[in-house]
Structure 1
């Protein structure tokens, strides 16, 4: 007769109350975030008419996010994760709620330079803790499926949210859209209040107190000592170098080379987003059937081929379909990578490992985006897409000669931290 723990693990994910409450509340929160994504630029442009102001605000907010990312892992590993997530949501509820309240008495652009950097910094802490929370929410063999569902609905909300935000901003003004975003954090906090996270495994090592610099480096050390995670981190850093600017290159191709309208650009991006959702839905069954190595390597190779095809095509339907395939591959590879980190990292290190991975992974991204877009303007989109696509194929080929090729690296002996 199955024990209660076995019955709980065998129960389908859609019948898991904890996961479903978390899933619904976080999907609504992502939809709310997309309202601010549209409304903040509109608010700045309506008041100042300056794109430069928006660029400066985005830069300051981005810097705050990166700085917070350095310490977010320590907070996620040292504090109660459920409480930390709720506090992050409540703090952002207050910060974003200030904007429509203050704006009711007149525009105050200075407030955005306070609210947005603080909110982005808190948002980074939330995101790192969110990744660790999934590990405490579902069993290890269901992590990939859980990430796929969360990723799929987040992608769908990211498509539908901006459309609704545009309607709300047009009818009631950008501050109304920002108020909806603030309310979404209340929904998220309420959902988290009713979620129960699993406690760390019995017998797991207690987190030892270390010096601050040792705390910061603990995640990077674990990544380096784990053969699969080390290879993934290195190869994905090069992958992001060649792909982060792909959306800008696509828009340039459609507008400059092919002469299409903004509406066409939006349609192509919406179709492409369907690829992200498809990848998130497919990743769990594909990984179960083919194993980690084949799934991850195949996803990167598929993305590379699709990217090369974009540069060779001059037909909008073909470009949209290829971009959907490209983002499907990116989605599958990304969820596989994240799920593996959650499965093999000791719970007391997961926050710092997540922070270290994101910091290393994205370090080459801004440089790559600048190089890619500069190259597209100087040498043409075809050359750049072929170059980037070939680079992705080389990365996938290189992975064949690394421990990434293993079908079930999560079953390997744990690395000592």
Structure 2
């Protein structure tokens, strides 16, 4: 297919996706819900600090959120594979709306110890993982296979757009009233619930859970992950990449000159990520998988060398923006390929197992960044990050599961649940 024909096909796919009623509903509901969650997750540590006076307890909130998300990967994937996806999303939205509403009441009536908010965050994040897994299954059933890259791209763009707006709204709402961010978050869950309720596509699961087959059913995602070369390669690549990118972010936060620079850097990076998401479908369709992954990692390593040579915090911010510009392109290619290649009846469990492993090193990233900033000068710390991104490039180059096929050449026979 010529470049002009590919571009025409992509435009047609994007237009068709825009006319897909159920995809629009799901996208709008999640855009609203993610905005509310972005607001509350930034405001909650400040609220815990106000209630308890303990910065350590406020920091623990982030740890609880991360652990709940990490531990929720596996059961969330199982639930999405075994139960009606529409019902799962409705129950998760309802649960999060009720939990957040109860937190609002407790804060307004001054009956909430800070530890209650830790519980709310932990349970809500666990429910989010089940929702996200069910949403992935729903997108696969709602969106035709040829439009999957566009669907992944616009979903990524949604997340980056939320990251640009959410922090600003969180600070403004918190100054109005400490409970205001939670009120907004609760309302956005209700909006998402209504959008899911209005979906017309049948989202029933292909399998049914039974206690007799609980362990084999749970383990099937791991077995598919282990047997498929691409899925193994993708998981290892994501594990190393997540660690390197998270370490870069924390080196910027811990070692930069001033909070204004950090805030501006994260905002600029989110804008770059939004741009990358819009470009992702075209890039993933035209550039073969292995060259795309290796090139992205080497560009990141090269930009880190430039930042280390210049020796300024502004250069490091520019690197972060470049990293997040490339991230959606890589992420869209990997996610789209996974959705197309994995059978529908096991997709949730495969994604859960892969996500569980690929997130395993992330808790070490802040600690590693802290040691770099504490014991090395800025230039040396940045060259360690160069080494991390070179390691990512090596993984992409040597893992046998990354074929040279582009997204448009992937088999589509298994793109829909059987």
TM-score (norm: length of structure 1): 0.88
1:137 aligns with 2:139: no
Q: Alpha-carbon deviation of 1:316?
A: 4.6
Gap change, CA 1:186 and 1:362, over 3 Å in 2: same
Alpha-carbon separation, structure 2, partners of 1:137 and 1:304: 38
Which of 183, 189, 192 does residue 193 from structure 2 map onto?
189
Pairs within 5 Å for 1:100-139: 100-109=104-113, 110-139=115-144
Alpha-carbon separation, structure 2, partners of 1:335 and 1:384: 30
Query: Any unmatched runs of 5+ in structure 2?
Result: 1-11
Which of 370, 373, 377 does residue 373 from structure 1 map onto?
370
Q: Aligned pair count?
A: 400
Alpha-carbon separation, structure 1, partners of 2:359 and 2:222: 14
Alpha-carbon separation, structure 1, partners of 2:67 and 2:240: 22
TM-score (norm: length of structure 2): 0.88
Alpha-carbon separation, structure 2, partners of 1:124 and 1:55: 21
Secondary structure at the aligned position of 2:274 is classed as helix
Alignment correspondent of 1:406: 404
1:151 aligns with 2:124: no
Alpha-carbon separation, structure 2, partners of 1:375 and 1:112: 32
After superposition, the CA RMSD in angstroms is 2.6
Alpha-carbon separation, structure 2, partners of 1:102 and 1:208: 37
1:236 aligns with 2:238: yes
Alpha-carbon separation, structure 2, partners of 1:62 and 1:390: 26
Secondary structure at the aligned position of 2:325 is classed as helix
Gap change, CA 1:10 and 1:332, over 3 Å in 2: closer
Q: Alpha-carbon deviation of 1:131?
A: 2.3
Alpha-carbon separation, structure 1, partners of 2:294 and 2:200: 35
Q: Alpha-carbon deviation of 1:11?
A: 5.3
Gap change, CA 1:414 and 1:407, over 3 Å in 2: same
Pairs within 5 Å for 1:10-409: 12-109=16-113, 110-171=115-176, 173-197=177-201, 211-255=213-257, 261-401=258-398, 402-408=400-406
- The answer (yes or no) to whether the contact 1:308–1:387 under 8 Å persists in 2 is no
Q: Alpha-carbon deviation of 1:128?
A: 2.1
Gap change, CA 1:252 and 1:312, over 3 Å in 2: farther
Query: Any unmatched runs of 5+ in structure 1?
Result: 1-7, 256-260
Q: Alpha-carbon deviation of 1:398?
A: 4.0
Alpha-carbon separation, structure 2, partners of 1:117 and 1:93: 14
Gap change, CA 1:413 and 1:91, over 3 Å in 2: closer
Alignment correspondent of 1:5: none
- The answer (yes or no) to whether the contact 1:296–1:332 under 8 Å persists in 2 is no
